[in-house]
Copies of this chain bind each other. A is one copy, B any other.
Amino acid sequence: MNNYLDKAISLAQMVEGQTGLNPPVGAVIVKNGRIIGMGAHLKQGERHAEIQAIDMAGPEQVVGATIYVSLEPCSHFGKTPPCAKRIIDTGISHVVYAARDITLPATGHQMMERAGVKVTYRPHPVAEQLYASFFKSKQLERPIVTVKVSASLDGKQATDHFESQWITNPSVKEDVFKLRHEHDAIITGSGTLKYDNPSLTVRLEEGRHPVRVILTRSGQIDWKSNMFHDGYGPIIIYTENHSLQSTCSNVEVVCLDNCNVDSVLKDLYLKGFGRVLVEAGPKVTSQFLSSKLITHFILYLAPKLIGGQGLNQFYQTESVFKLSDTHQFEIVETSLIDTNVKILMKRK
């Protein structure tokens, strides 16, 4: 029954967004048609899913059991010993996994098979989807990047008078809180800080507030903005202005020679951010949407027409491209959020 592999993948999905630079992984151990252990990787540096599940089942029970894992067990010594070795040592007789870890040179599959454990790779579309962006991120050494835009039907984030509250409905706001909760950091621009003065927090029960990241090449920052005084954790400012100094203890200023998308993402990855969300005005949004480094694009559309000259169209570029050279996305899912439409896309 494929059922157990589905369950392992569900466990992985439950911890998506809380595993830093590690992938979310779930594991279920089965013996005599009964689940005897379950686990998920809860935090970077802590026990892996397989180990959690083995610990729950106990050393006697696991002998001869089958473990279903959302991702191929690791075979390398990282912050924890390799899961493949632990699986071999416990006497688990069969390993079924749903996705190959293409980022590692040596594979757990081979290691376990050589030790006499039966190993089955059973590709699963949900797991493939779950890990695709993670693998890309790890190979590029850049975080998984989701760009979020709320706009009118005519592609505007605000009127020409910068009125933007609220284009979309309250249910979209709730959905955005969940989205923020699943990311380690939110990137915005100094323009959004100036015009919207947002908090970019997660107003949900036990929501986790991502670190807030502000991009300002020139270094023009309004230190009176709410964000600097609301007490919701650290803030990082990226700038090209060498004289910009932080005036608050929770604010780190990082000066880069070129404060472009790639160098910001590279630095964030080195700092340990695995998933970042871009919620910004047209300028920063357009920079990210133009970049091949973004992984997902979420567009919330309100059934309104804003009109005007389009000062706040969410996508603006200096160059004019041929139609065949325009950026393409693949629609993963569309859903109705109350009266608005949510379109989840991935970069083609």
Contact = CB atoms under 8 A, between A and B. Distances in A.
Nearest to A33: B208
Contacts of A137: none
A15 to B, nearest CB: 6
**Copies of this chain in its oligomeric complex:** 2
B1 A33 contact: no
A40 interface: yes
B66 A206 contact: yes
A18 B38 CA distance: 14
Main secondary structure of the interface of A (DSSP, over half): mixed
A342 interface: no
Nearest to A2: B205
Given A7-B14, A10-B14, A1 B204 contact: yes
Contacts of A193: none
Most buried by B among A10, A32, A42, A52: A42
Nearest to A56: B52
The 3 closest A-B pairs by CB, nearest first: A33-B208, A1-B204, A18-B34
Interface of A: 1-4, 7, 10-11, 14-15, 18, 28, 30, 32-40, 42-43, 52, 55-56, 66, 177-178, 181, 202, 204-209
